[in-house]
């Protein structure tokens, strides 16, 4: 039987009414109704309410295949930023994480648990002539939609093992376990660790090595993390006890983002881009467009990745990575 990885493609296409969009093509057997249901949940808000997610536009089911059209991202994904193996300035890391926490805060507010947060599922997009880059959480193929007001919900072993929270990774893979949206916080914590160190906090070569990290419950401070506020935030994200894990909403209030040091590191270019946008009378201008602390500049990203061709999507005709 073919795997999800083999059965899915992400293509860049031109829709006559919408323009350039991404088309996710999959065999019907791999289409999860939940992935489309979230489109209706997000649709109640205009896109500028949260620009840090990839939104589904429409879906069509054919005899053997399903096609989902979704927002296109004209750069690559966060994995490429990590693989560049360049030390990313702390101020840049701060903006990336602030965008991603805001994306997660919105997703969780809507009662959605992503369950597959990883660098390959965080796409980079630079709106035309904006001079800025948005980090967008995409691929909602593994989502869990909460029912009612219950904080906990039943989940199984889903997503990508190296980004999976202990409460899902440990135990019988086929057994349903009680978990909550902090599984996404753990995954984002692993992503943050990768951004800073270009590696994982454990040996990823074998399942027993990952298991050992989960059971010994020791997170060693890497030499690359010198900032105490960043280390405190990371420890609260990678808490082995989900009840002690920080929420996305509280993370945005953490001193790593709000301290005098953080505010002093906002660059003149960020401030100028915010000011230019603020003077624009476009009604779709959002709070995130005029708040310089949310602005990741295109110049900074291209300093790390090199000059990027924004006309061509680098994901075109490449398999969509979903590892279960």
Q: What is the pLDDT of residue 306?
A: 87
Domain 4-72+310-319 matches domain 78-264 at the CATH topology level: no
Give pTM, 2 decimals: 0.88
* CB neighbour burial string for 181-213, b if at least 16 within 10 angstroms, e if fewer: bbbbbbbbbbbbbbbbeeeebbeeeeeeebeeb
pLDDT digits 0-9 by tens, 9-43: 777 777 777 778 888 888 888 887 777 777 778 87
Mean pLDDT (whole number) for 117-135: 95
Strand partners, 179: 153
CATH code of the domain made up of 78-264: 1.10.510.10
Mean pLDDT (whole number) for 55-74: 86
Which of the following is catalytic: 76, 116, 139, 289? 116
Lowest mean pLDDT among 28-42, 65-79, 98-112, 132-146: 28-42
CATH code of the domain made up of 4-72+310-319: 3.30.200.20
Instruction: Check pLDDT > 90 for residue 162.
Output: yes
Instruction: Check pLDDT > 60 for residue 181.
Output: yes
Whole-number Å distance between alpha carbons of 212 and 43: 42
The pLDDT-based confidence of 121 (bands split at 50, 70, 90) is: very high
Structure-model confidence comparison of residues 173 and 95, the more confident one: 95
pLDDT digits 0-9 by tens, 188-221: 999 999 999 999 999 998 889 999 999 999 999 9
What is the residue extent of each domain of the chain? 4-72+310-319, 78-264
Q: What is the pLDDT of residue 184?
A: 97
The pLDDT-based confidence of 2 (bands split at 50, 70, 90) is: very low
The pLDDT-based confidence of 258 (bands split at 50, 70, 90) is: very high
Strand partners, 60: 67
In order, the DSSP letters of 191-241 are: HHHHHHHSS-SS--S-HHHHHHHHHHT--PPPTT---HHHHHHHHHHT-SS
The CA distances from residue 118 to 77, 143, 250, 274, in Å, are: 10, 13, 21, 29
Mean pLDDT (whole number) for 164-177: 81
Whole-number Å distance between alpha carbons of 215 and 250: 27
Tell me, yes or no, if 309 is annotated catalytic. Answer: no
Q: What is the pLDDT of residue 231?
A: 99
The pLDDT-based confidence of 291 (bands split at 50, 70, 90) is: very high
CB neighbours (10 Å) of residue 293? Answer: 19
Q: What is the pLDDT of residue 154?
A: 65
Q: What is the pLDDT of residue 295?
A: 98
């Amino acid at each position: 039987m073919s795997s999800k990885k083999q059965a899915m493609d992400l293509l860049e296409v031109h829709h006559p009414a919408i323009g350039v969009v991404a088309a996710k093509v999959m065999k019907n057997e791999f289409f999860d109704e939940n992935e489309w249901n979230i489109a209706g949940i997000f649709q109640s808000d205009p896109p500028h309410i949260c620009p840090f997610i990839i939104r589904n536009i429409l879906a069509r089911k054919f005899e053997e295949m399903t096609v989902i059209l979704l927002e296109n991202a004209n750069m690559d994904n966060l994995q490429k930023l990590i693989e560049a193996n360049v030390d990313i300035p702390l101020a840049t890391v701060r903006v990336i994480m602030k965008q991603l926490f805001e994306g997660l805060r919105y997703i969780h507010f809507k009662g959605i648990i992503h369950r597959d947060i990883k660098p390959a599922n965080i796409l980079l997009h630079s709106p035309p002539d904006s001079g800025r880059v948005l980090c967008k959480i995409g691929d909602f193929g593994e989502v869990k939609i909460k029912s009612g007001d219950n904080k906990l919900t039943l989940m199984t072993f889903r997503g990508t093992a190296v980004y999976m929270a202990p409460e899902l990774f440990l135990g019988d893979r086929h057994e349903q376990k009680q978990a909550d949206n902090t599984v996404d916080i753990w995954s984002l914590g692993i992503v943050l660790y990768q951004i800073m160190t270009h590696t994982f906090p454990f040996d990823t070569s074998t399942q027993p090595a990952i298991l050992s990290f989960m059971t010994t419950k020791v997170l060693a401070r890497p030499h690359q993390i010198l900032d105490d506020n960043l280390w405190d935030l990371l420890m609260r994200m990678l808490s082995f006890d989900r009840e002690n894990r920080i929420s996305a909403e509280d993370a945005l209030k953490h001193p790593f983002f709000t301290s005098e040091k953080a505010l002093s590191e906002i660059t003149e270019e960020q401030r100028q881009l915010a000011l230019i946008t603020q003077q624009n009378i476009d009604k779709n201008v959002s709070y995130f467009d005029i708040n310089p602390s949310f602005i990741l500049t295109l110049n900074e990203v291209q300093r790390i990745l090199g000059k990027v061709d924004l006309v061509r999507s680098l994901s075109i005709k490449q398999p969509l990575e979903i590892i279960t």
